[in-house]
């Protein structure tokens, strides 16, 4: 694997608002990258990389022997998306990133009609970020904080996502509140996976093992993952898909977490596949349903 480097060009989107021109100017004024920077791999064009500060992007992009974004189905043939245009995905993580990896692998295998264009994290050293770098996926640090001064501001993140032409945002173990500006910029286009049967055991404070501890302590006999659309509050968006697993009498939080996580990897890939194939149907009462890929009359 050869290390790729990165060149910036000062491209501006013609339809910039005043505010985002300001942020582009701020970003550009702080652009500083070594002269020999040139990204040699990935499908990112110069426009997607314009105005993004290298110090806030971890661009240790490695050049793979073949494009990591070129989808292949199980027979190994290139699968040029049977449906609409292949969608561009931004995935947000804070931890190990197993759900991110499942979606990325499904994309490469042609099971998801989309490509992971960028990874966003508040923990640049987390497992998901390491996997992204090793897979040639750009890593963006968000949000800016006292601990991570180099993180992007919300407005800067919106500019970057726009430049990457992101269609859908997928939260996968991201532990920060997504700001309302981002929720409004991507209506019905942000998904999250939560490790309980929402609305139970969700909301502020309910993440990771804390969720499973609460489920066990409650005496619940069943648990399971929920895929839901994201609104401005934690875990209150519309439920799209769920799976059920038993809670056993002698379960530890770790045992239950592993059982739920196994189902997460499947239900999230199925939900993202439906999203990327335009198979989400919104019922009159606002409940989103998934249209079957094989039987269009079947909704679930
Ligand atoms: N606007 C939204 N943002 C996010 C949502 C959402 O539904 N709407 N989902 C979360 C993911 N999540 C549950 O699925 C979740 C993550 C984190 C927390 C939480 O309480 N976080 C702590 C901080 C934890 C940390 O920084 O280590 C907190 O806010 O005090 C609850 C639920 C992602 N964002
Ligand atoms: N409330 C948010 C939350 O708890 N999310 C949970 O974090 C884990 C991330 O695992 P991963 O990094 O291996 O995908 C997953 O179990 C996910 O449901």
Task: Convert the pLDDT of each residue in 82-140 to its tens digit.
Answer: 558 999 999 999 999 999 999 999 999 999 999 999 999 999 999 999 999 999 999 99
User: Which of 145, 184, 234, 260 to probe ligand 1 with, by most ligand atoms within 8 A of CB?
Assistant: 234
Task: Please check the confidence at residue 80 and state whether its pLDDT lies above 90.
Answer: no
pLDDT digits (tens, 9 = 90+) for 220-262: 999 999 999 999 999 999 999 999 999 999 999 999 999 999 9
Per-residue pLDDT at 54: 47
Instruction: With residue 133 as reference, give the H or E element that holds it.
Output: helix 127-134
Domain ranges of the chain: 3-7+23-71+82-290
Per-residue pLDDT at 84: 81
Tokens of 95: 């931890």
Per-residue pLDDT at 40: 28
Task: Please check the confidence at residue 8 and state whether its pLDDT lies above 50.
Answer: no
User: Which listed CATH number (3.60.10.10, 3.40.50.10190, 3.40.50.170, 3.40.50.2300) goes with 3-7+23-71+82-290?
Assistant: 3.40.50.170
**Any idea which of 13-22, 43-52, 58-67 has the lowest mean pLDDT?**
58-67
Tokens of 235: 């875990």
CA of 98 to the centre of ligand 2 (A): 8
Task: Please check the confidence at residue 22 and state whether its pLDDT lies above 70.
Answer: no
Under the banding of pLDDT at 50, 70 and 90, the label for residue 5 is very low
ipTM over 0.95: yes
Closest of 111, 162, 154, 128 to residue 266, by C-alpha: 111
Neighbour-count burial of 141, counting CB atoms closer than 10 A to its CB (0-12 exposed, 13-18 middle, 19+ buried): buried
pLDDT digits (tens, 9 = 90+) for 133-162: 999 999 999 999 998 889 999 999 999 999
CA of 170 to the centre of ligand 1 (A): 13
Task: Please check the confidence at residue 78 and state whether its pLDDT lies above 70.
Answer: no
| Distance between CA atoms of residues 15 and 230, nearest Å | 27
CA-nearest residue, atom 21 of ligand 1? 175
Under the banding of pLDDT at 50, 70 and 90, the label for residue 17 is very low
Catalytic site includes residue 194: yes
Q: What percent of the chain has pLDDT over 70?
A: 72
Which residues are CB-contacts of 205 (< 8 A; sequence separation ≥ 6)?
none
CA-nearest residue, atom 2 of ligand 2? 207
Per-residue pLDDT at 101: 98
| Distance between CA atoms of residues 276 and 295, nearest Å | 17
Strand, coil or helix: 267: helix
Instruction: Kindly state the DSSP code that residue 175 receives in the 8-state scheme.
Output: -
Whole-model pTM?
0.81
Per-residue pLDDT at 56: 54
CA of 39 to the centre of ligand 1 (A): 33
pLDDT digits (tens, 9 = 90+) for 161-194: 999 999 999 999 999 999 999 999 999 999 999 9
Largest Cα–Cα separation, the chain: 61
Q: Ligand 2 atom closest to Cα of 102?
A: 14
Answer yes or no: are the C-beta atoms of 169 and 103 closer than 8 Å.
no
Q: Is the CB–ligand 2 distance for residue 98 below 6 Å?
A: yes
């Amino acid at each position: 694997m050869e290390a790729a480097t990165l060149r910036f060009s000062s491209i501006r989107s013609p339809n910039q608002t005043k505010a985002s021109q300001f942020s582009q100017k701020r970003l550009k004024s702080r652009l500083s990258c070594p002269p020999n920077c040139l990204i040699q791999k990935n499908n990112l064009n110069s426009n997607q990389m314009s105005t993004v500060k290298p110090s806030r992007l971890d661009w240790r992009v490695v050049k793979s022997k073949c494009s990591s974004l070129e989808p292949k189905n199980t027979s190994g043939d290139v699968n040029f998306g049977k449906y609409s245009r292949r969608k561009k995905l931004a995935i947000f993580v804070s931890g190990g990133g197993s759900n991110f990896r499942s979606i990325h692998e499904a994309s490469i295998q042609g099971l998801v009609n989309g490509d992971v264009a960028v990874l966003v994290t508040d923990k640049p050293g987390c497992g998901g970020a390491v996997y992204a770098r090793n897979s040639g996926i750009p890593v963006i640090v968000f949000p800016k904080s006292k601990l991570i001064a180099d993180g992007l501001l919300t407005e800067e993140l919106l500019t970057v996502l726009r430049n990457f032409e992101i269609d859908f945002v997928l939260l996968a173990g991201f532990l920060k509140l997504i700001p309302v500006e981002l929720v409004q910029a991507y209506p019905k286009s942000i998904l999250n996976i939560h490790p309980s049967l929402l609305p139970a055991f969700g909301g502020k404070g309910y993440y990771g093992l804390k969720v499973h501890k609460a489920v066990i302590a409650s005496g619940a006999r069943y648990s399971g993952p929920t895929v839901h659309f994201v609104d401005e509050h934690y875990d209150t968006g519309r439920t799209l898909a769920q799976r059920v697993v038993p809670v056993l009498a002698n379960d530890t939080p770790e045992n239950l977490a592993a059982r739920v996580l196994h189902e997460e990897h499947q239900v999230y890939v199925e939900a993202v596949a439906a999203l990327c194939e335009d198979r989400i149907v919104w019922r009159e009462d606002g409940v989103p349903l998934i249209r079957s890929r094989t039987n269009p009359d079947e909704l679930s």
